[in-house]
Amino acid sequence: MLPPLLLSLKVLFFTVPLLILLGGGAGWVLARRDFFGKEACSLLAQLPLILPPSVMGFYLLFFIGRNPLLREMDILFSFPALVVGATVSASPIMIQAARAAFASVDRELEDAARTLGKKESTVFFTVTLPLARRMLLVGLALSAARALGDFGVSLMIAGNIPGRTQTLPLYIYNQVETLNFARAHGAALLLVGAGLASLYAVRMLEEGRKDHRASC
């Protein structure tokens, strides 16, 4: 069980920064910028939430396999494929949370900072980001838990190769197939624990947000 667990944590280590950069960035664009096709982009970003993982995995497999550059990078059925699968599966949660977080920030506070001569980057890091921080952390906690438990997309584009691409959810699948329910149960409890920890973190962040509003 240890190698799949360590591999899952390694995938999460690389996925979380991608969720912050790509999911947070996409959420900011959707919240703060108006452009043609904005709602279409928003709908496309949410597709991984409603499509079966096997469908998402199939189209990723097709896209990567047909793209000469990506094919040369030898992504499929390797560790990078696990990171891609986890990021695609979890990004809609982060995008929606980031969009809501940045949309909730009072623009007047940002304008006040600008009138004091602050640069846009300074306004973002000293005003916008601190005010959106709690909701962003909620989205990150939920999306990280989703990435840790990814199964269908990872199976389609990374396979289930022990010692190479077999993460904890895939390990559980293998143990159930071989009727080794005790090991499957132990691994499943680890994921349940991770899920409960994520929900607890979200609860604490939400309560902190309510207390902050009450104090204001």
Model confidence over 119-162: pLDDT tens digits? 888 989 999 999 998 899 999 999 999 999 999 999 999 999 88
pLDDT of residue 74: 84
Give the range of the structural domain holding residue 173, as residue numbers without chain letter.
2-215
What does the pLDDT look like over 16-31, one tens digit per residue? Answer: 999 999 999 999 999 9
Residue 215: per-residue pLDDT: 57
Domain count across the chain: 1
CB 90 within 8 A of CB 150: yes
CATH number of the structural domain spanning residue 162: 1.10.3720.10
Q: By C-alpha distance, which of 126, 132, 157, 176 is closest to 55?
A: 157
**Tell me, what's the pLDDT at 208?**
67
pLDDT of residue 18: 95
DSSP calls for 137-201: HHHHHHHHHHHHT--HHHHHHH---TTTT--HHHHHHHHHHTT-HHHHHHHHHHHHHHHHHHHHH
Which residue from 156, 141, 16 is spatially nearest to 82, judged by alpha carbons?
156
